[in-house]
Amino acid sequence: MEIIKIGMADLGVAKPPSRLRTTGLGSCVGVVLYDSTHKIAGMAHVMLPESSLAKSGELSIGKYADTAIPHLIQLMERAGASTRHIVAKLAGGAQMFAFLGNNDTMRIGPRNVEACKMALKDAHIKIVAEDTGGNCGRTIELDATNGMLQIRTVNQGVKEV
Amino acid sequence: MVYFTKFGDFQFDVLREIGNIGAGHAATALSKLMQKEIDMKVPQVSIIPFDEVADCVGGAETVVVTVFLRVEGDCPGNMFFILDLDSAKYLLLQITGIDKDVYEWGELEVSALHEIGNILTGSYLSSLADLTKLNLQPSVPALAVDMAGAILSYGLIELGQAGDFALTIDTAFFEGNEQVKGNFFLIPDPESLPILFHSLGVPFDGDY
C-alpha cells in the first residue's frame, strides 16, 4: 500500500490500494473526490478561495479553490473516472486563532470552505460529508479502495466519514 | 518568488542580523523572566516552499504551543513564538509555579502563556523597531495548541497570494540544560521586504 502525500497547494489522484494523505490542515481545505464505480480518488489541499487574489503572474493551480477543483476533476476523468459518479468530502477551513475574526485574511478558513462548495456546485458534484470550521488542525487520509476519509485532530482523536 | 530572486549574500546577512537582534532581546527578556541563562542559535534565514516551513519545528503534524501575532504598521508580517509541549509546561512551571500538562490548561494557564508570549515577541519587535525606525504595531497575541502545519499556514496566507515561497527568519533558543526549547519565527509580508531593507540603507537586490 502506497501513501501519496499531497503538500500545501498541491493535488493528486490515486487508485486502489493507494491512499492520499495531507497533513496539518488549518485554514486550508482538504477537498476529497471519489468515484466509487471506477474506484478513483482525488485530493486537493486548497489554500485560498479565488485565483483572482493572485498578485503575481504565475498561477499555481492547486492553490485556489476555483482552479484546483476543476483541475482535479479533469485529472480524475483522465484516469478513468466519470463526473456523474464523483462525490465530494470536505475537511479543514478552521479558524485557528479565533479572536482575529474581524480581519478578512484571518477569516480565510470559512471563505475557503464557501469557495470550495461553490466550485463543487458549479461542477455538479454532491458533497456527502463535511468536517469543516472549528478551531483545530486536521490531518486527513483517503482510502482509494472504498473512499473512506479518515480525519485526525489533536483533541478529538480520529474519525471516519 | 518575484521578491526573493535577486537576493545576494549581503541581503541574507542583513536578515540574519535582524533575527539576531530581535531574538537576542527576546531571549534576554526570557532569561529575566525565568532567572536562567538562555542561549540561542544563529538565526536561519530561508526561502522555502510552504510545505517545508513546518519542518523547522518538527513537521506539519507535530503538536506545538504557539503564540501568534500579526504585525501591522510600516512593515506588516506575522510573528510566531513556538514551543514544544514539554517546554511550554516547564516554562509555565518556572515562571508561575503551576505544574500542569498542556492538555489540562485552563483559562489562567493560557492567559499566563499569552502574557509570556506577548512580552517576548514584544521585545523582539520593539528592538526591531528601534533598529529600523519603522512603526511596527503588534496585534493582541493569540494562542493555539495544535499541529504546527495548521498553525504556521496562517502566516502564509498573505504570501500565498504573491508566490509559492516563504521567507522565514527562524531563531531557535534553549535554556542551559535544554528544558525549554523554542523558536521565534518572523515571516514578513512580501511587500515589507523592500521597506525593511530601505530603512537600513541596504539595496534590495544584487550582490553588494
ipTM: 0.86
The phi and psi torsions of B191 (rounded to 5 degrees) equal: -75, -10
Tell me whether residue A1 is exposed, middle or buried, using C-beta atoms within 10 angstroms of its C-beta: 0 to 12, 13 to 18, 19 or more. exposed
Catalytic residue numbers of A? Answer: 28
CA distances from A110 to A90, A94, B138, B183 (A): 12, 7, 24, 29
| Nearby residues of B190 by Cβ (< 8 Å), 6 or more positions away | A55, B2, B3, B158, B159, B162, B163
C-alpha cell at B111: 492567559
3-class secondary structure, A81: coil
B157, A54 Cβ separation under 8 angstroms: no
Residue type, A134: G
3-class secondary structure, B74: coil
pLDDT digits (tens, 9 = 90+) for A96-113: 886 655 566 668 899 999
Residue A120 confidence class, pLDDT cut points 50, 70, 90: very high
Query: Which residue of chain A is at minimal alpha-carbon distance from B2?
Result: A56
Q: Is A98 on the interface with B (CB under 8 A)?
A: yes
Q: Give the one of B147, B150, B161 whose C-beta lies nearest to A48's C-beta.
A: B161
Tell me whether residue A124 is exposed, middle or buried, using C-beta atoms within 10 angstroms of its C-beta: 0 to 12, 13 to 18, 19 or more. exposed
Quick count: other Cβ atoms within 10 Å of Cβ A36? Answer: 14
Instruction: Determine the pLDDT at residue A132.
Output: 95
> What average pLDDT score do residues B3-7 get?
66
- Read off the pTM: 0.88
Domain architecture of chain B: domains with CATH: 2-199 (3.40.1550.10)
C-alpha cell at A23: 497533513
Q: Residue B205: is its pLDDT beyond 80?
A: no
Q: Residue B207: is its pLDDT beyond 50?
A: no
DSSP letter at B59?
A: -
Instruction: Determine the pLDDT at residue B3.
Output: 57
Q: Residue B34: is its pLDDT beyond 50?
A: yes
Q: Residue B1: is its pLDDT beyond 60?
A: no
pLDDT digits (tens, 9 = 90+) for A49-107: 998 877 766 678 999 999 999 999 999 999 999 999 999 999 999 988 866 555 666 68
Instruction: Determine the pLDDT at residue A99.
Output: 61
Q: Is A23 on the interface with B (CB under 8 A)?
A: yes
Q: Is A49 on the interface with B (CB under 8 A)?
A: no
**Mean pLDDT, all residues of chain B:** 87
B194, B188 Cβ separation under 8 angstroms: no
Q: Residue B194: is its pLDDT beyond 80?
A: yes
A74, A33 Cβ separation under 8 angstroms: no
CA distances from B91 to A43, B34, B120, B146 (A): 40, 8, 13, 18
Q: Residue B45: is its pLDDT beyond 60?
A: yes
Closest CA to B132 of B81, B188, B171, B90: B188
Block residue for cell numbers 530581535: B22
> What average pLDDT score do residues B131-152 get?
91
Closest CA to B66 of B103, B19, B113, B126: B113
**Cβ A137–B150 below 8 Å, yes or no?**
yes
> What average pLDDT score do residues B69-86 get?
92
Looking at per-residue confidence, does A115 or B49 come out higher?
A115
A99, B140 Cβ separation under 8 angstroms: yes
pLDDT digits (tens, 9 = 90+) for A125-152: 999 999 999 989 999 999 999 999 999 9
pLDDT digits (tens, 9 = 90+) for B109-125: 999 999 999 999 999 99
A59, A26 Cβ separation under 8 angstroms: no
Q: Give the one of A7, A24, A53 whose C-beta lies nearest to B148's C-beta.
A: A24
